Amino acid sequence: MVALDNTYFDREVISFTNYISELLSPEKVYFVHIDRDLEVPDYLNHEEREDTGVLIPKDEQLKIDIQKVVKKHFHNQTNVSLKVEIKEGTPLKELLHLSKVKHIDLIIVGHKKISEGSGITANKLAREAECSILFVPENQEIPLRNMIVPFDFSGNSDHALKTGLNLNKKLNDSEITAVHVYDVPLFSNYEINVNYEEMVKNVLNFKKSSFKEYLEKQGFENVGILVEFLANTSGRTVKYINDYILENKPGLVIIGAKGHSSWDAFLMGSVTEKLLSLNTNTPILVERNYSHN
């Protein structure tokens, strides 16, 4: 499902969807625009049909306009069912409802640097959706090159990394990097009686050993996964992840997410939501781990 807001940004989101659909081969793609009020004065929001002169309701005109943009920017139509839908209501609420009733696997939505009041915020959508969400920034270049997966040894990050590996197989000259931010004791919080540098080194060696063991268990020793270990010396995990993303400019970031309980929301809010708030320059795929729900 592709969320559109009937602005200039739609063409970029649709073009990116066209590219992604070539990689994922979906059966159906819904292009959805949700308007807060379709019942508005004729003289403001209706246009005349060229053939009959009869006024066109706003929802019909919106559908015509969006269909034109879809036709122009979405070309991967072989064996893909396309449908444009116009709905009335609160954008976030209606989008979540449609994703449930239509059993959507992936929502694709624009991630603007400056919100224009569409009613769909990245954080709320990421928190409440029951499927995966791909946030597309403005002026995103395609094809994709290189992926980064924040990795914390959880089942969700394992799922995200496997999703990245499957996608990376379909890309040319692309690398996938797992980024692990590991905590080290802060002097401001602890009295440490051992050599600090030695302690950090021991933590790093343990993390490297753990990741090597993970790769061996999964049979990933020879699939070309790169790994970057970042020492968290300030207690700000998301900052290290975002700084690494900004420095390396990957084509896609994949971050694992799970469930919808209050605890899941709390855990997710500590990393994913903050990353979405900090970074509007990079495509971010919030990948749901269905097997853990």
Residue 104: inside a domain, yes or no?
Answer: yes
Is 210 among the domain residues?
A: yes
pLDDT band at residue 214 under the 50/70/90 scheme: very high
Q: Please tell me whether residues 182 and 256 are part of one structural domain.
A: yes
Residue 178 domain-assigned (yes or no): yes
Within 8 A by CB and 6+ apart from 240, the residues are: 181, 230, 232
Q: Are residue 196 and residue 81 in the same domain, yes or no?
A: no
**What is the tally of structural domains in the chain?**
2
Rounded Cα gap, residues 103 and 1, in angstroms: 10
Say what the pLDDT of residue 200 is. 84
Position with higher pLDDT, 141 vs 84: 84
Q: What is the distance between the alpha carbons of residues 214 and 251, in angstroms, rounded to a whole number?
A: 25
Q: Look up the domain containing 75 and give its range.
A: 2-137
Last residue of a domain, one of 137, 159, 190: 137
Q: Give me 98's structure tokens.
A: 């449609």
Asked if residue 142 belongs to a domain, the reply is no
| Residue 31 placed within a domain | yes
CATH of the domain at 116: 3.40.50.620
Domain end point (choices 117, 137, 157): 137
Which region among 6-20, 63-77, 235-249, 253-267 has the lowest average model confidence (pLDDT)?
253-267
Comparing 270 with 27, the larger pLDDT belongs to: 27
Query: Which has more confidence, 96 or 78?
Result: 96
pLDDT (0 to 100) of residue 45: 47
My answer on whether 30 and 118 are in the same domain is yes
pLDDT at 19 over 90: yes
Q: Do both 6 and 133 map to the same domain?
A: yes
Q: Are residues 195 and 284 in the same domain?
A: yes
Query: What is the rounded CA–CA span in Å between residue 108 and residue 16?
Result: 9
| Residue 255, pLDDT above cutoff 70 | yes
Could you tell me whether strands 47-48 and 55-56 are parallel, antiparallel, or unpaired per DSSP bridges?
antiparallel
Are residues 179 and 54 located together in one domain of the fold?
no
Rounded mean pLDDT of the chain? 85
Tens of pLDDT, residue by residue over 71-92, are 999 986 678 999 999 999 999 9
One domain, residues 118 and 151:
no
Exposure on the CB side of residue 189, measured as CA atoms within 13 A: 7
Q: Does a structural domain hold residue 262?
A: yes
Please say if the pLDDT value at position 118 is more than 90.
Answer: no
Arithmetic mean of pLDDT, 35-58: 65
Nearest to 145 by CA among 167, 171, 166, 164: 171
Q: What is the model's pLDDT at position 115?
A: 58
